[in-house]
């Protein structure tokens, strides 16, 4: 046995599955059918909500994209879709709670909404979820932060670990959090689902306690299955040591 350990190393003890019910709430997903790149049908939505419930999640805040060039959603479209999802849930006796906000893409239309002081779709204590382009650093990031904060929003940057222009400089998360920007990380980033560099970024965020929310960013059932298959991941267990805000919503 000693010889085997010499060549192959000692295998880490298997951790028990992480208890997702301790976080209670998932605040980033795409579950309203047919309005963005998430759920494609009501049956798919109900199946994903059932899986969330079986994983121990008590409430889902679904956040459809609002993106000028691709997903021109409005509060009316999103909340109308939410009402239909709730009707379908009642028909199958699903007990999990569901609310809706939005995931705003940082483009000229978001700045225009802020300029006009148009009310954004929020969750929790006036939290607003927003995202950047994955590939190109957007201009005027500080101006966006200023506008959101001065209008009394609590900005939440979606999946910080996935932005290419932030690779190898994750310490910016600390700077932005000091300014009042909250950081959300995707569970599946810890498992290599988005690639090794994203995994490294996510692990840094956990080790350095620079996360405020962790969520599924669920677009399809595969995302939940990957999460379920990796519940023993040691970095997932380290989330228990962070002061995450999920359960405050």
Q: Is residue 39 part of a domain?
A: yes
Q: What is the mean pLDDT of the chain?
A: 95
94 is in which domain, residue-wise? 18-248
Q: Is residue 178 part of a domain?
A: yes
Q: Quick one: pLDDT at residue 6?
A: 47
The secondary structure element, H or E, covering residue 108 is helix 108-115
239: its two tokens: 């989330």
Considering only the C-alpha atoms of the chain, give the largest distance between any 2 of them, rounded to a whole number of Å.
70
Q: Is residue 44 part of a domain?
A: yes
Is residue 8 scored above 70 in pLDDT? no
Q: CATH number, domain at 104?
A: 3.20.20.140
Is residue 10 scored above 50 in pLDDT? no
Q: Is residue 5 part of a domain?
A: no
Q: Quick one: pLDDT at residue 68?
A: 87
Sheet of strand 213-215: strand arrangement = 65-66, 103-105, 127-131, 154-157, 182-186, 213-215
> From CA 246, how far away is CA 249, in angstroms rounded?
6
For residue 45, the 8-state DSSP code is H
34-77 pLDDT tens trace: 999 999 999 999 999 999 999 999 999 999 999 988 899 999 99
Percentage of the chain with pLDDT > 70? 95
- pTM for the complete prediction? 0.94
Count of Cβ atoms closer than 10 Å to residue 229 Cβ: 10
Q: Quick one: pLDDT at residue 193?
A: 98
pLDDT bin (cut points 50, 70, 90) of residue 12 is low
Q: Quick one: pLDDT at residue 3?
A: 52
> From CA 105, how far away is CA 71, in angstroms rounded?
10
The secondary structure element, H or E, covering residue 215 is strand 213-215
Q: Quick one: pLDDT at residue 120?
A: 98
Number of folded domains that form the chain: 1
> From CA 193, how far away is CA 201, in angstroms rounded?
13
Q: Is residue 181 part of a domain?
A: yes
Q: Is residue 10 part of a domain?
A: no
**Residue 64 CA, distance from chain mean position:** 11
Long-range (24+ apart) CB contacts under 8 A made by 9-13 are 12/234
Q: Is residue 151 part of a domain?
A: yes
CA distances from 56 to 7, 95, 222 (A): 40, 12, 17
Is residue 147 scored above 60 in pLDDT? yes
Is residue 99 scored above 90 in pLDDT? yes
Would the CA dihedral through 43, 49, 55, 56 be positive or negative? negative
Percentage of the chain with pLDDT > 90? 92
Q: How many residues can be counted in the chain?
A: 249
Is residue 246 scored above 60 in pLDDT? yes
Would the CA dihedral through 228, 230, 233, 236 be positive or negative? negative
Q: Is residue 8 part of a domain?
A: no
150-200 pLDDT tens trace: 999 999 999 999 999 999 999 999 999 999 999 999 999 999 999 999 999
Beta strand pairing call for 213-215 and 65-66: unpaired
194-225 pLDDT tens trace: 999 999 999 999 999 999 999 999 999 999 99
Q: Quick one: pLDDT at residue 14?
A: 87
Is residue 4 scored above 70 in pLDDT? no
């Amino acid at each position: 046995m000693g010889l085997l350990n010499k060549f192959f190393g000692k295998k880490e003890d298997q951790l028990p599955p992480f208890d997702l019910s301790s976080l209670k709430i998932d605040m980033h997903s795409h579950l309203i059918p047919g309005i963005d790149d998430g759920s494609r049908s009501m049956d798919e939505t109900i199946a994903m909500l059932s899986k969330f419930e079986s994983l121990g999640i008590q409430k889902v805040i679904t956040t459809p994209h609002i993106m000028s060039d691709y997903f021109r959603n409005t509060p009316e479209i999103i909340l109308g879709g939410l009402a239909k999802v709730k009707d379908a849930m009642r028909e199958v006796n699903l007990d999990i709670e569901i609310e809706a906000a939005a995931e705003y893409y940082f483009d000229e239309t978001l700045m225009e909404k802020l300029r006009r002081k148009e009310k954004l779709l929020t969750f929790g204590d006036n939290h607003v979820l927003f995202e950047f382009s994955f590939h190109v650093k957007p201009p005027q990031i500080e101006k966006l932060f200023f506008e959101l904060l001065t209008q009394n929003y609590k900005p939440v940057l979606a999946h910080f670990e996935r932005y290419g222009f932030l690779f190898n400089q994750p310490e910016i998360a600390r700077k932005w959090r000091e300014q009042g920007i909250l950081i959300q990380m995707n569970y599946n980033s810890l498992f290599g689902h988005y690639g090794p560099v994203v995994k490294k970024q996510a692990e840094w965020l956990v080790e350095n306690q620079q996360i405020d929310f962790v969520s599924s960013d669920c677009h399809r059932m595969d995302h939940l299955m990957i999460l379920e298959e990796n519940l023993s991941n040691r970095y997932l267990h380290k989330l228990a040591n962070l002061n995450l805000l999920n359960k405050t919503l």
